[in-house]
Amino acid sequence: MNAATLGVRAAARVCVAVLCLLAGATAARANVPFTQSWSPHNRERPVRQSTLYIILHTTEGPAPGSLQKLRDNGEANFFVDPTGRIYAIIDRRRVALHAGRSMWRGRTNMDEVSIGIEVAGYYYQNLTAPQYTSLRALLTELQAQYGIADANVLTHSMVAYGAPNRWHRRSHRGRKRCGMLFASSAVRQKLGLTDQPSYDPDVRAGRLVVGDPYLAQKLYSGSSSKAIASASVMPAASSSRSRAKPAPVVPAAVATAMPPPGEGMLITANRSAWDVARDMYNEPTTRYVFPDGKVANGNQIRNWKSIPPGTRVIIAASESENSEERLQRIGRDGDTAREVAGDEFNTARTIYFLKDGRIRTGAELAAAELDALPAETGMLVGYAQGGAITAKRRAFDVCGVKWNNPSTFYRFPDGSIQSGAQVRENAIPLGTQVFFRN
Ligand SMILES: [Zn+2]
């Protein structure tokens, strides 16, 4: 047998092995409806260097619009609709932008080490029976392929964290309740998951504070998490029932904490805009209807302390996983640097775009200057300064795979600022400064 034949034989064996592997992997979801629905961003997304976690999301919006948005923005690897159909949106090997500002065990930017699965539904609402079947099969396949333990199947609400804002002085857990029900042990059991995190590692280590005690309790107390699902796991598929609208499982405390999108909820003396809208509170798509009938969008409100009780808050139908990252401005997002960036206002993690053109971190500015920053001064909170683009140092050299993320910002020599989603790599002028979330 000559070398060429050996080579052919070996190649054939490899092919057979690969085919067997694929067959085994897909067997779990042999009867699960599956559609390739690639995002236009799929091919430009980098391949992950390692895959340590699976992160589960709820869309917090109706299925058709959610799928469209996830595909347009490349915000998930997979999407599971109410009928159990799985859509592949970003190749499982590639980075999907699903976790936004995130941290777990001190590691940030969880997109780079995780697969994101979006399930059509709401954080407080049980899955449909077909969703349980399909998601369980998909998890089985992905966990086997990447060697991911049950305890490393996380929820977006576990890993998301918020920068300081007017309600929280420090970086905090509780930016999102997305996927909260996937911390319920009853829900996890139905998905074949027998282990889960029992505490928040970043809060325990002091890296973050708790910004949402209710969420923290739901995520890490086994008994209370059972309450979410015990009522109500959907009956196993009988054809008439599985098509019926699932009965929402809404514990009273959750039901009053945040309304389904499109429905208003009132601000009271004890319930702030943050309590109602979370990180959507200052979005242009969040509407405030005041008692006198006037209406304002979240990005138009200046004085958050003066919102009268009885104001109704209406949250847009579908959240974006990355929408909260934008240049903040004094006078819009808070009247002072301390109001915008909390305890991080004077640290190296807060970047100031001064009106005279200088760019400085909070650590570089004197206290007097920080206290007297004029309106419209731009700020980025929780960011690293990457330095300038040069002939030998392109965007990728500065911040790696984050170079074209919507959360990365470029300040051009003419003073204008664009996000990574807007820039064209070959059109970035030399001398442009790069800032990325860290
Ligand atoms: Zn999410």
Confidence band of 11 (pLDDT split at 50, 70, 90): low
256 compared with 18, residue with greater pLDDT: 18
Assign residue 192 a region (left: φ > 0; alpha: ψ between -120 and 50; beta: otherwise).
Answer: left
Q: What is the pLDDT of residues 314-337, one digit of tens each?
A: 877 555 555 568 889 998 888 899
pLDDT-based confidence at residue 224 (cuts at 50, 70, 90): very low
Q: How far is the CA of 362 from the centre of ligand 1 (A)?
A: 30
d(CA 239, CA 411): 56
- Mean pLDDT, the chain, whole residue set: 84
The predicted model scores a pTM of: 0.79
CATH architecture of 31-243: 3-Layer(aba) Sandwich (3.40)
Say how far apart CA 280 and CA 313 lie, in whole Å.
10
**CA 122 to ligand 1 centroid distance, Å:** 10
DSSP string for residues in 353-370: E-TTS-EEEGGGS-HHHH
Beta 172-173 vs 209-210: how paired, if at all? parallel
Report the alpha-carbon distance of residue 400 to residue 386 in Å, rounded.
11
361-391 pLDDT, tens digit per residue, is 999 999 999 999 999 999 999 999 999 999 9
Q: How many CB atoms lie within 10 A of CB 27?
A: 12
Domain residues of the chain, as ranges?
1-28, 31-243, 258-314, 328-437
CA–centroid distance, residue 81 to ligand 1 (Å)? 15
- Are 342 and 165 in contact by the 8 Å Cβ rule? The answer is yes
Distance between Cα 103 and ligand 1 center (Å): 13
Q: Any idea how long the chain is?
A: 438
Environment of ion ligand 1 (residues, CB < 5 A): 57, 156, 178
C-alpha 293 – ligand 1 centre gap (Å): 32
